[in-house]
Amino acid sequence: MPKAARWTALLLLVLASACKARKTAPPVLDASPAADAAADVSFVDAPFPDVIAEDAGSDAMDPEAAVADASTDAPTSDGDAFDGAATDGAATDGTAADAVTSDAAGDAAISDARPSTDATADGGGSCTVVADLGSMLGPDVATGTTMGRTDEVTPACRESDSSDAIYTWTAPSAGNYAFSLVGSDYDTVLDVLENCPAGLSLACNDDHVDLQSVVRVDLTAGQRVHVVVDGYDGQAGNYRLGIHRCEGSSAGCVPHDIGTMVGMRVFEGTLAAVDPTDPCGVAEGSLLGTCGGGGRELVIQWTAPMAGRYVFDTQGSEYDTVLYARNGSCEGDELACNDDAGGDLGTQSRIQLSVTKGQVIVLVLDAFFTDAEGAAVLNITRMP
């Protein structure tokens, strides 16, 4: 064997022994520079295994542990698995939503269990009757207090949030009856309803004698009404309810017919002084205009002599007037309303109307204050 061949064989034997000791495959003599570089890198990294393990965790240098960690961490890093967890969260949210729904249902049940106040009488409340007064007559058929009671009815003549007391009463015979709260110790409002709840107001009054209320109503024999003892603007107190039978009829709306008259002072009347001791002696103010008029009134019927535009005023009256016109009758549509005309008329009233020939107009000469008294005057002028 040539000398060079023997040296080559010897070198291969040495290398094979070294590889066996390291449990690695024998290297190929013509290994590429890249492989040598990789071997160099492994040799450079090899002196620092403890540092690598300390930074990355003890399992970092253990292939089996690395595989186990990869399996464990996979669900966390897997998008679908994370969405699954989010789905679980949604399920939890769903449970919360169910709880809210359950609470809402509970609230609804509580709400449904509460007494209904849908029943109304002239715009508010329900009607809890304090007592049936039968057909009693006298100055004190009922006494009590509205303090501590609830607000169940809104009176027809006054927007009020005062507590109230409601009674039923039956007319013993056909006739005119006065209902009075004179003697009460607070600012009262009195309403007599045909029925309650949702009953037609037969008569309503705020202040009639000072701050006390009085109404007069024509009733038939056996007619049953609801009497609402109320207050002004949240006021409450001790009340005295009197019921009296009066001679004749309540003033109501019985017009004075002046025909087709035009000119100054076509109507003159008088509001007599109020006698607080006699509820039947007071002509009840039962009408109310959109611009006011809570006091007593005088009602005039007038027929237009020809078509045109007319001016109606209360100049010459001795009290603060309110004037309004209704078409055809007391129950007709309101055509115009004025409280204070101002200027030379001051607190007197003035309205203008365009009418046709023969048209019937009901003019209500009302009072702003409930204790008004004195001369009442109506003037009518045709405009050119």
Identify whether residues 273 and 241 lie together within a single domain.
no
The answer to whether residues 129 and 193 touch, using CB atoms and an 8 Å cutoff, is: no
What integer is the mean pLDDT of 207-227?
88
Is position 8 within any domain?
yes
Among 197, 228, 246, the domain-final residue is 246
Identify whether residues 266 and 240 lie together within a single domain.
no
Identify whether residues 171 and 190 lie together within a single domain.
yes
DSSP reduced 3-state for 93? helix
- Looking up tokens 């005023």, which residue turns up? 313
Identify whether residues 295 and 376 lie together within a single domain.
yes
Is position 377 within any domain?
yes
Residue 250: which pLDDT band, with cuts at 50, 70 and 90? low
Q: How far apart are CA 196 and CA 154, in angstroms?
A: 11
Is position 86 within any domain?
no
What domain range includes position 19? Answer: 3-77
- Strand ranges inside the chain, DSSP E: 129-132, 138-145, 165-170, 175-180, 188-193, 201-205, 214-219, 224-231, 238-246, 256-257, 263-271, 297-303, 308-313, 321-327, 334-338, 350-355, 360-367, 374-382
The answer to whether residues 146 and 162 touch, using CB atoms and an 8 Å cutoff, is: yes
Instruction: Give the single-character DSSP code of 199.
Output: P
45: which residues sit within 8 A by CB, 6+ positions away? 52
pLDDT tens digits for range 80-91: 333 333 333 333
Is position 118 within any domain?
no
Give the whole-number percent of the chain exceeding pLDDT 70.
63
What integer is the mean pLDDT of 342-357?
95
Identify whether residues 353 and 277 lie together within a single domain.
yes
Residue 281: which pLDDT band, with cuts at 50, 70 and 90? low
Identify whether residues 326 and 299 lie together within a single domain.
yes
pLDDT tens digits for range 40-85: 333 333 333 333 333 333 333 343 333 333 333 333 333 333 333 3
Per-residue CA distances from 215 to 9, 162, 210, 223 (Å): 140, 19, 14, 16
CATH code where residue 238 lies: 2.60.120.380
Q: Which two tokens stand for residue 262?
A: 């035009």
Is position 120 within any domain?
no
Q: Which residue has the higher pLDDT, 308 or 31?
A: 308
Identify whether residues 233 and 273 lie together within a single domain.
no
Is position 111 within any domain?
no
Is position 85 within any domain?
no
Among 56, 77, 98, the domain-final residue is 77
What is the structure's pLDDT at 146?
A: 95
Is position 153 within any domain?
yes
What is the structure's pLDDT at 17?
A: 54
Identify whether residues 260 and 378 lie together within a single domain.
yes
| Predicted confidence (pLDDT) at residue 174 exceeds the cutoff of 50 | yes
Q: How far apart are CA 47 and CA 224, in angstroms?
A: 113
Per-residue CA distances from 54 to 49, 83, 215 (Å): 9, 33, 101
Identify whether residues 73 and 151 lie together within a single domain.
no
Pairing state of beta strands 321-327 and 334-338?
A: antiparallel
- Looking up tokens 């709840």, which residue turns up? 197
What is the structure's pLDDT at 279?
A: 81
Mapped to the 3 state alphabet, what secondary structure does 18-84 carry? HHHHHCCCCCCCCCCHHHHHHHHHHHHHCCCHHHHHHHHCHHHHCHHHHHHHHHHHHHHHCHHHHHH
- Looking up tokens 């365009």, which residue turns up? 354
Q: Which two tokens stand for residue 222?
A: 């056996």
Identify whether residues 223 and 322 lie together within a single domain.
no
Q: Which two tokens stand for residue 234?
A: 């949240």
Number of domains in the chain: 3
Identify whether residues 230 and 313 lie together within a single domain.
no
Least confident interval from 88-97, 231-240, 276-285: 88-97
What pTM did the predictor assign?
0.46
Among 77, 106, 140, the domain-final residue is 77
Q: Which residue has the higher pLDDT, 95 or 112?
A: 95
Closest CA to 321 of 268, 262, 379, 365: 365
pLDDT, mean over the chain: 73
The answer to whether residues 295 and 362 touch, using CB atoms and an 8 Å cutoff, is: no
Cis-peptide, bond into residue 197, ω within 30° of zero: yes
Q: How far apart are CA 97 and CA 311, in angstroms?
A: 70
Identify whether residues 241 and 291 lie together within a single domain.
no
